[in-house]
Amino acid sequence: MLIPGAEFPHLCAQCEDYPCVDACSSKALSVNKKTGAVTADAEKCTGCGDCIDVCPGKVPHVHPKTKTILICDLCGGDPQCAKVCQEGGWNCLRVVERGDEDFKLYSRAPEETARNLAIKTYGEKAEELL
């Protein structure tokens, strides 16, 4: 869904049960024991998209040229997106320590995120346009 002015980063919530890893029949996805991030092995990936289908936020995506899955690996434990966001003063992204809450609470499909952002930005009238 394209909503002008409702652009928002679409990020992996690092679910505790990693449904994307379990869904990968080619075993191209694994969990980095140090960072807890999902990593993708392009050599093993078939680009089937099963990981996208089971992801609560539909985060993994297929690279347009290589036709293999791309997913955030947290930059080896030092997420550059959060660093740049903080340095730029936007303060939208930050690294948080894993607590007792279920991280799937933070996982949303891009359409849902854009819809919520549009309503917060443009008010309830935006709902009629969506």
pTM above 0.85, yes or no: no
How far out from the chain centre does Cα 105 lie?
A: 13
**Sequence-distant (≥ 6) Cβ neighbours of residue 60 within 8 angstroms:** 12, 20, 40, 51, 52, 69, 70, 71
**Per-residue model confidence as pLDDT tens digits over 68-85:** 999 988 899 899 989 998
**Per-residue model confidence as pLDDT tens digits over 87-115:** 999 887 888 877 777 666 667 777 777 77
CA angle 11, 13, 17 (to 5 degrees): 140
Would you tell me how many other CB atoms lie within 10 Å of the CB of residue 87? 8
Instruction: Specify the CATH number for 19-129; select among 3.30.1280.10, 3.30.70.20, 3.30.460.10, 3.40.30.10.
Output: 3.30.70.20
Look-up of token digits 């499909």: 109
